[in-house]
Structure 1
Amino acid sequence: MRTIPVFKRQKAMVTKPAIDKDVQYSSQWRLMYLRFKKHKLARISLIVLGILYAAAIFAQFLAPYGLQSYDSKYVNAPPMTLRFVDADGKFHIRPFVYELKSTRDPETMRKIFEPNTEKRYSLQLFAKGESYKFLGIIPTTTHLFGVEQPGRIFLLGTDGLGRDLFSRILLGSQISLSIPLVGVGISFILGLIIGGISGYFGGWPDSVIQRIIEIIRSFPTLPLWMALSAAIPPRIPVVTMYLYIVIIFAFIEWTGLARVVRGKFISLKNEDYVVAAKIAGVSDGKIILKHLIPGFISYLVVATTLAIPGMILGETAMSFLGLGIRSPATSWGVLLQEAQQIENVALYPWKLIPLGVVIITVLTFNFLGDGLRDAADPYKK
């Protein structure tokens, strides 16, 4: 029987597994980043959200038409198809669309649109259109694309007033994507401050704050939204309505984060490093900002990310019910109002496209939140 020399056995016993130095000497944020990179679905979601928010920022440039643009000849027109090959089989380098001609169904008298192959309009980049202010500052009439005059292009069809649905989805994203961010930002600050006071100082401030939170959370969410929205005066400016909607969401959503912050403060305020800071004469404000909050900042990032989808759905629901943003302004909830009627959905299914955009946005935020939640525990295998 073959034997292994003693020095080889001892060498094998003392061999240690290799440790990745990039992980061994990394900070907490670096470890979170390294783990987040391994979550493919979260990375894809981050890219999708980046595209959505970039489209919202440059919506007026990307949209071929404005909010006030409509054409009564194209009421409930179906989506147009960009073509490279015409009806005669000839290939064209520049994509084009056919003009839509309308006819009446002899039985139902419903307007039916069909492509008119005799009139072709080529796609134009950086086309001239309605005037607007680029990024709200620079007056211009240039849009990313359009078609030759007097042609019209409706990539996602039109609504019941002949307005381009693609343009309205882009312009509506400015409200539907910004309200949740602003609302979550305000509720984050409120929850952090109020929850921190409750958990750090305790006593009667803690009792009063917790009773207030319990009262707010005892109301059903949707009826509370409706009650607060009903208090908003009708026919107010769009900017004022936007501000009111943000305040409503912030007023409701801060309670959950405040309770989490309170629990974290209670568990951390008796740790040795916090007690040492108190003995050294460090002020309460510095202890909270430099010692307590950094101890669970990763959790706050995750909680904030996961709270945004709820606010997106909330704004959509309020606008859908006519309690939020109202015409002439638009949001994804406003666009879905026409989908309340089953007849509209059955005859004009493209009016449900805004619902698909809402679903994609909510899912990407949830996937991103899942990735951040996993990354917040970088030592988890």
Structure 2
Amino acid sequence: MGPLPDRPPPPEAPSAPAASPAAPDAAVGSAANEALPGDAPQRVLIWRRFRRNKLAVTGALVLCAFALVSVFSEFVAPSTPDAYNAARTYAPPQRIHFVDTSDGFDLGMYVYDYRVERDPETLANTYTVDESTKIPVGLFVRGEPYEMWGLFTADRHLIGSSHPEQDVYLLGADRNGRDMASRIAHGTRVSMSIGLAGVALSFVLGLVLGGLSGYLGGRVDNTIQRAIEFLMSIPTIPLWMGLSAAVPRDWNSVQTYLAITVILSLIGWTDLARVVRGRFLSLRQEDFVTAARLDGCGTGRIIGRHMLPSFTSHIIASLTLAVPFMILAETSLSFLGLGLQPPVVSWGVLLQEAQNIHSIANAPWLLLPGVAVTVAVLVLNFVGDGVRDAADPYR
């Protein structure tokens, strides 16, 4: 046989394009970006989820503004809360103007003064805008002296009249000629701090008593639950009235403030204790709790280090959503005349002074503390919902 004919060589497979030197780095970077959310600390993950909720972020910004007003109320207020002018009773709010074109072009903040006429029969003041008289308004102006946090004396105010002898009423005046903007700013500190202090105490009571009730069970659980049921069976308003009536009337404002805070805390811990008990009843049979118990951990360590972190999101939500309840409770008590009393300034005290027909018909700006209460409650609920969703470990 002759030699076999030569066969053509098989076609070469197309060669893969050479990887660029940057490809491995890009792949590593992509893998690192994908692994970042799982490797990030829990607080970073919570913050990333929280900032996606625009409503909660907006509420947090407004809440920060309330906090700043509470801390620096003396500086933010145009005047002191007790400064009055008898010639300006029920003065309406003055609108701030920024540009004056009546005489050239003048750029700056100012308000128009009032022209006051007194009714000879009712002796009531009638106010009309006097555009011929301008009162300049400035920032960081000198005004009524005050004690900042009781530590030092100052007279600088964030906003106010550039001439200390002239009064400015940006939110109007009350029946004694006191500036409502200043009184609302000072009332923010009292109402917000009562809410935070009351929630802190009720939060501790709810966690401790609810945790012991759910973890230990038996007689401890039975005793705590009967006490909770007794407190929850009493109508809220009569209970507030009875406890507030027990506060001696000769106590000063600080003692009354502390008493109201304790009263609100003793009422507001029952709901949280019920929820914590229910979660502990379901968690105490879990494997990680059994393992911690067999490892020799004490009751306090098991509750604080193993069981409570498993429902952190609900605890945070309960904490933030309980603050509006405390604020509304203080406002209701003061409005009914059973809580804080003048000379203490709070939103409830200001609303109590406005509960008459004259204020509703002729001076509606006296109801502005109610707007502050509504806004504070709304933003606290928005922030609470956002934090709860962000801290949910099952998302």
Tell me the TM-score normalised to structure 1 length.
0.90
The match for 1:14 is: none
Measure, in 2, the Cα distance between the counterparts of 1:316 and 1:135: 24
Answer with 371-380 or 100-109: which moved more: 100-109
Report 1:171-186 matches (<5 A). 171-186=186-201
Measure, in 1, the Cα distance between the counterparts of 2:42 and 2:97: 52
The match for 2:155 is: 141
The match for 1:351 is: 366
The 8 Å contact of residues 100 and 107 in structure 2, kept in 1 or not, is answered as no
The match for 1:100 is: 114
Answer with 27-36 or 346-355: which moved more: 27-36
The amino acid across from 2:215 in the alignment is Y
The match for 2:217 is: 202
Q: Does 1:260 align with 2:279?
A: no
- CA displacement 1:147-192 (0-9 Å, x = unmatched): 2142110100000111000000000001111101000000001111
The 8 Å contact of residues 313 and 393 in structure 2, kept in 1 or not, is answered as no
The match for 1:369 is: 384
Of the three residues 185, 191, 202, the one matched with 2:206 is 191
The match for 1:80 is: 94
Measure, in 1, the Cα distance between the counterparts of 2:89 and 2:36: 60
Measure, in 1, the Cα distance between the counterparts of 2:394 and 2:290: 27
**What displacement does 1:325 show?**
1.1
Of the three residues 46, 62, 73, the one matched with 1:32 is 46
- Say which SS state the counterpart of residue 34 (structure 1) adopts: helix
Which 5+ residue runs of structure 1 have no aligned equivalent? 1-17
- CA displacement 1:250-305 (0-9 Å, x = unmatched): 00011111111111111111111111111121222211111111111221111111
**What displacement does 1:378 show?**
5.1
Answer with 32-41 or 138-147: which moved more: 138-147
The 8 Å contact of residues 99 and 151 in structure 1, kept in 2 or not, is answered as no
Of the three residues 166, 169, 178, the one matched with 1:154 is 169
Measure, in 1, the Cα distance between the counterparts of 2:272 and 2:90: 44
Measure, in 2, the Cα distance between the counterparts of 1:235 and 1:75: 30
The match for 1:8 is: none
Measure, in 1, the Cα distance between the counterparts of 2:358 and 2:131: 30
The amino acid across from 1:208 in the alignment is T
Of all paired residues, the percent bearing the same amino acid is 45
The 8 Å contact of residues 95 and 123 in structure 1, kept in 2 or not, is answered as yes
Measure, in 1, the Cα distance between the counterparts of 2:41 and 2:165: 60
Higher Cα radius of gyration: 2
The 8 Å contact of residues 84 and 91 in structure 1, kept in 2 or not, is answered as no
**What displacement does 1:65 show?**
1.2
Answer with 370-379 or 210-219: which moved more: 370-379
- Say which SS state the counterpart of residue 101 (structure 1) adopts: strand
The 8 Å contact of residues 141 and 157 in structure 2, kept in 1 or not, is answered as yes
- Say which SS state the counterpart of residue 79 (structure 1) adopts: coil
The match for 2:61 is: 47
The 8 Å contact of residues 312 and 391 in structure 2, kept in 1 or not, is answered as no
- Say which SS state the counterpart of residue 96 (structure 1) adopts: strand
Alignment: residue pair count: 363
The match for 1:223 is: 238
The amino acid across from 2:95 in the alignment is T
Measure, in 2, the Cα distance between the counterparts of 1:374 and 1:279: 34
TM-aligned CA distance change 1:235 to 1:99, over 3 Å: farther
TM-aligned CA distance change 1:91 to 1:317, over 3 Å: farther
Measure, in 2, the Cα distance between the counterparts of 1:345 and 1:315: 22
The match for 1:270 is: 285
Of the three residues 323, 326, 335, the one matched with 2:341 is 326
Measure, in 2, the Cα distance between the counterparts of 1:86 and 1:28: 54
The 8 Å contact of residues 32 and 378 in structure 1, kept in 2 or not, is answered as no
The 8 Å contact of residues 99 and 152 in structure 1, kept in 2 or not, is answered as no
Q: Does 1:123 align with 2:137?
A: yes
TM-aligned CA distance change 1:38 to 1:28, over 3 Å: same
The match for 2:180 is: 165
Measure, in 2, the Cα distance between the counterparts of 1:140 and 1:373: 41
Measure, in 2, the Cα distance between the counterparts of 1:34 and 1:217: 38
Answer with 50-59 or 25-34: which moved more: 25-34
The 8 Å contact of residues 183 and 247 in structure 1, kept in 2 or not, is answered as yes
Measure, in 1, the Cα distance between the counterparts of 2:195 and 2:124: 40
TM-aligned CA distance change 1:248 to 1:153, over 3 Å: same
